[in-house]
Amino acid sequence: MRDYDVAIVGASIAGCTAATFLGRQGASVALIESHSDPAAFKRMCTHFIQASSAPTIARLGIEHALDQAHGRRTDTNIWTRYGWVSFGRESAGPPMSEWRPWNVRREKLDPILRDLAASTDGVELLLGHTVNAIVRDGERLAGVRTRERNGDEHEIRAKLVVAADGRDSEMAKLANVPTKLKQHNRFGYMGYYRDTPLVTGDSAQMWLLDPDVAYAFPTDSDLICLAVFPHKDKLASFKPDPEQAMARVFESLPDGPRLDPDKRESKVIGKLEMPNTVRQTTQPGLALVGDAALAADPLWGVGCGWAFQSAEWLAEAVGPSLSGGPEDVDAGLERYRKRHRKGLGAHEKFTSEYSRGRRFNPGEKLIFRAAARDQEVARRMGLMGERWVSPQSALSPATMARAVRVNLSRKRPPIGLRRAASVAG
């Protein structure tokens, strides 16, 4: 097979995004995907895409396609025992007032992204090719070997290889990329339901039950994605009949929808093991993007967003270097490594730590209680929760001091849940 500037392994969110942005910069890209069906999609994902990646989605130019697919531009309401927190997006100022989270099923999103990449000049989508070996020139990664279903094998050489092959990255194993696995003490079940209105209308609801979690996400085609992420100590009570166990959780939720099995539009599917995975993001000639680089999900709904963002950061950092030699490409990789760490490092630590399944710590209790009573604390929490700013800058001493004042004031009752007009009262 011919040589390329870039060989990307995995044509899902991260791979298609990287291929599109690199192709637009004039690079020749082999986009390699083991599925042979262009409409293949990831099933186990609740696809709440944080607003901080909406600008990347806009730059990809797929907003219209997502609207055509009836994707929802949604919003966030979080319940804790201290009351409901809404971020007050309209009055929050930029960037929160400008961008909303998306929610669209992966069966719609993944083919849209694959079509976009495949129709980008310079990008060649190679479906039905599974990467099973890497090619090195000395220390440097110089390509991959693929195998088709019919047994045909190919060597694809490139100046840069990108691992976009997900949480269990085969590329990372083949290239011996240092990997840290962090405990994730929750399991998840999800399903899609029709005719299941939320009191918040198009706006998502999340219950942080400390330590269990439940979600109701309005998504495309008037469906609601209902999901639970309980602590693993409850697994035995879920396994015999996961949907019945989910229904019991939803029955107990304040302002929650009822889960009616007769309204289910999909199978109920589950994932019992999902350790958070943190990898070194670069090696000479190799970059990791999306879940292959970092999977610290799903509790805060960031994996899809980070796949979009990390792929765009990579294209920005290395795209201009691809016309140069290996040292130019590696200088671009170093820029990407730093950008990735700056953007996601602190969020990963925070998310992974909470994924252990522990109860709220005193700082979180303070913030959740204050955010339920004070719109400004809620706004700052939203900036961090949507990953616009780092946890350190959102939870600054000034924010903590304000939270203490709010919590000590007797005149600050909970703000309460903002109900959709059609269901108000």
Ligand X SMILES: Cc1cc2nc3c(=O)[nH]c(=O)nc-3n(C[C@H](O)[C@H](O)[C@H](O)COP(=O)(O)OP(=O)(O)OC[C@H]3O[C@@H](n4cnc5c(N)ncnc54)[C@H](O)[C@@H]3O)c2cc1C
Interface contacts to ligand X, rule CB under 6 A: 9-15, 32-35, 42, 44-49, 130-131, 164-166, 170, 188, 271, 274, 290-292, 295, 297-298, 301-305, 307
How remote is the C-alpha of 343 from its chain's centroid? 14
Q: Which is nearer to ligand X, 45 or 317 (CB)?
A: 45
Q: Which is nearer to ligand X, 126 or 377 (CB)?
A: 126
Q: Which is nearer to ligand X, 104 or 394 (CB)?
A: 104
Quote the least distance from Cβ 385 to ligand X, whole Å.
13
The structure tokens 């909970």 sit at 414
Quote the least distance from Cβ 229 to ligand X, whole Å.
8
Q: Is 123 helix (H, G, I), strand (E, B) or coil?
A: strand
Contact criterion met (CB below 8 Å) for 275 and 182: yes
Strands 76-80 and 204-208: parallel
Contact criterion met (CB below 8 Å) for 217 and 227: yes
Q: Is 214 helix (H, G, I), strand (E, B) or coil?
A: strand
Q: Which is nearer to ligand X, 49 or 377 (CB)?
A: 49
Strands 188-193 and 269-271: antiparallel
DSSP line for 347-400: HHHHHHHHHT-PPPPHHHHHHHHHHTT-HHHHHHHHHHHTTSS-HHHHT-HHHH
Quote the least distance from Cβ 161 to ligand X, whole Å.
12
The size of the chain, in residues, is 425
Q: Is 227 helix (H, G, I), strand (E, B) or coil?
A: strand
Q: Which is nearer to ligand X, 234 or 365 (CB)?
A: 234
Quote the least distance from Cβ 402 to ligand X, whole Å.
29
Quote the least distance from Cβ 133 to ligand X, whole Å.
10
Q: Which residues pair with 18 in a beta bridge?
A: none
Quote the least distance from Cβ 3 to ligand X, whole Å.
19
Q: Which is nearer to ligand X, 32 or 259 (CB)?
A: 32
The C-alpha atoms of residue 184 and residue 394 are separated, in whole angstroms, by 24
